[in-house]
Amino acid sequence: MEDSAKPVDVIANLRVLAHDLSNSLETVLQAAYLLQEAKLDGREKKWAQMIDVAARDAARINREIRKILNGKG
């Protein structure tokens, strides 16, 4: 992105990136759910839980970013 980009262009680009991030996070959340459903042992289960928590946090953060970009935050 150029330094001379207009604020409206920057916001439009950020919206596109936030949308793309949402799509990627959806895949991670689905994979985390499937991992939680699998029969895992102690250590593997803990890793799966960590992935699930991190993915949920990332999705929440992305929702907050999208709210701000849409003027609702």
C-alpha 3: how far from chain center: 26
pLDDT of residue 73: 67
Looking up tokens 């916001």 gives 11
- State pTM to two decimals: 0.76
Straight-line distance from the first to the last Cα atom of the chain, in angstroms, rounded to the nearest whole number = 24
- Label residue 2 by pLDDT band (50, 70, 90): low
Q: Which residue has the higher pLDDT, 5 or 32?
A: 32
pLDDT of residue 5: 76
Which amino acid belongs to residue 58? A
From the list 52, 22, 55, the residue with the least C-alpha distance to 35 is 52
Q: Contact at 8 Å (CB) between 36 and 52?
A: yes
Give the helix ranges, DSSP H, for the chain. Answer: 7-37, 42-69
pLDDT of residue 72: 79
